[in-house]
Amino acid sequence: MGPPFKNLRQSSKCHPAGDLDSSRREGFSGDYSPKEEAILRLATKSPRILLCALSLKGTGFGSARQILLKKAESWIRCIPSYKHMEALGVRNCLIRNPLTTIKQEVLLLQTGSGIIKRGPIRVKLPENLLLEEVERKNPYVTKGGRYKPPDCESTHKTAVIIPHRNREQHLKYLLYYLHPFLQRQQLNYGIYIIHQAGNFTFNRAKLLNVGFKEAMKDEDWDCLFFHDVDLIPEDDRNIYICDRFPKHASIAMDKFGYKLPYKSYFGGVSALSPEQYMKMNGFPNNYWGWGGEDDDIGIRVALSGMLISRPSVQYGRYKMIKHGHDKGNEQNPKRFNMLTKTRRTWKQDGMNALQYILISKELQPLYTNITVDIGTDKGLRPHT
């Protein structure tokens, strides 16, 4: 006997596990095991909402699907079995009421291991971590740090842009956690490392502008995450897709006691669509050294007529890898004075004034490495 529902249609699309606004409108049909059918029958009889995670034990990937039961306020979200999977087991059944709480619940499949992730991530930094180990743990990541879900067509394409110089160990830790984190969200994604050549003063925001421009040459990304190398996400429900407005994702960092330091803060990890990015003329190019550029970016959001979107404090949690100020990234003594002028300068200082020299673009196993000469506060130097 089949599951007790009708008029369900099959789809090859996959959604990030938290993207329930669209996925709740879709139903799926197919063959179900006796265990799955029993769960479905239970869901239709219960006056409450049964949200149940099924753990897959196998070597392949599984894509989450949502089954919308044709009964008011009753639906079940589960992971399907595939022919190449050896077994299916039930894990972590949760009861939630009312229906609206489903939007805040995420059940995610950790590929290959048979473990369901549905919330906080315990971040532990492995000693003596090598990039080769990260490669082995991510066999489906292709050259250049690209990934596409193998069992469905992702509805979101996200590029992660990471400014970098002299932070190799931080980069290993971030890649160690970020690749599986993004794969569990079933994203079509790519990771870009934007490396500032030379020993001149660091310029985070200008490197992010470079990353935006170079990444958009490769793919028509619908979302770009601008990500500090020393921040590791601590909750799977922090979905790496864009919102209606520019998103500040790192709302709760351990450095600040998991609280937003001040209302207009926009530093750490942010996400913008290409349209949002260009509407605010990208990021400023003239902040050399540490500090100021993230506040300038927050001001640009407001000046361009947009609001700041943020996840909940529970989900937007990040662990900061401890470090001191790098040589060449000392505090910018001009930052406060520059911020007072943002209203006058933002339309002239940004993507429309970006200048750099592309030195190399290399497709590494875990990321695309882009090395650039962005000059100094005096401008670009002749490159030999």
CATH code (residue 315): 3.90.550.10
Q: Which of 106-120, 171-185, 281-295 is the least confident region?
A: 106-120
On whether residue 228 sits in a domain, the answer given is: yes
On whether residue 73 sits in a domain, the answer given is: yes
Contact present, 114 and 58 (Cβ < 8 Å): yes
- Do 48 and 94 fall within a single domain? yes
The overall average pLDDT reported for the chain is 75
On whether residue 382 sits in a domain, the answer given is: no
Average pLDDT over residues 109-131: 68
- Do 248 and 167 fall within a single domain? yes
- Do 94 and 143 fall within a single domain? no
On whether residue 42 sits in a domain, the answer given is: yes
Average pLDDT over residues 257-285: 95
Give one word for 30, left, alpha or beta, with left for phi > 0 and alpha for psi -120 to 50. Answer: left
- Do 186 and 317 fall within a single domain? yes
- Do 39 and 187 fall within a single domain? no
Average pLDDT over residues 143-159: 93
The total number of structural domains that make up the chain: 2
Q: What share of the chain is helix, strand, coil (3-state, %, to 5)?
A: 25, 25, 50
Q: Which of 112-116, 202-206, 224-228 is the least confident region?
A: 112-116
Host domain of residue 107: 13-117
* pLDDT of 218 above 60: yes
- Do 47 and 72 fall within a single domain? yes
> Where a domain ends, among 89, 117, 145?
117
CA dihedral sign of residues 309, 314, 318, 324: positive
- Do 258 and 109 fall within a single domain? no
What tens digit of pLDDT does each residue of 347-357 get?
999 999 999 99
* pLDDT of 194 above 60: yes
- Do 286 and 237 fall within a single domain? yes
- Do 255 and 144 fall within a single domain? yes
* pLDDT of 147 above 50: yes
**Rounded to an integer, what distance in angstroms lies between the CA atom of residue 13 and that of residue 90?**
24
Q: Which of 84-88, 222-226, 342-346 has the highest mean pLDDT?
A: 222-226
pLDDT score for 211 = 98
On whether residue 383 sits in a domain, the answer given is: no
pLDDT score for 38 = 52
Q: Which of 18-22, 269-273, 298-302 is the least confident region?
A: 18-22
> Where a domain ends, among 88, 117, 146?
117
Sequence-ordered list of residues with C-beta below 8 angstroms from that of 192, at least 6 positions apart, any chain: 145, 159, 160, 161, 162, 211, 214, 215, 367, 368, 370
> Where a domain ends, among 117, 150, 180?
117
- Do 48 and 188 fall within a single domain? no
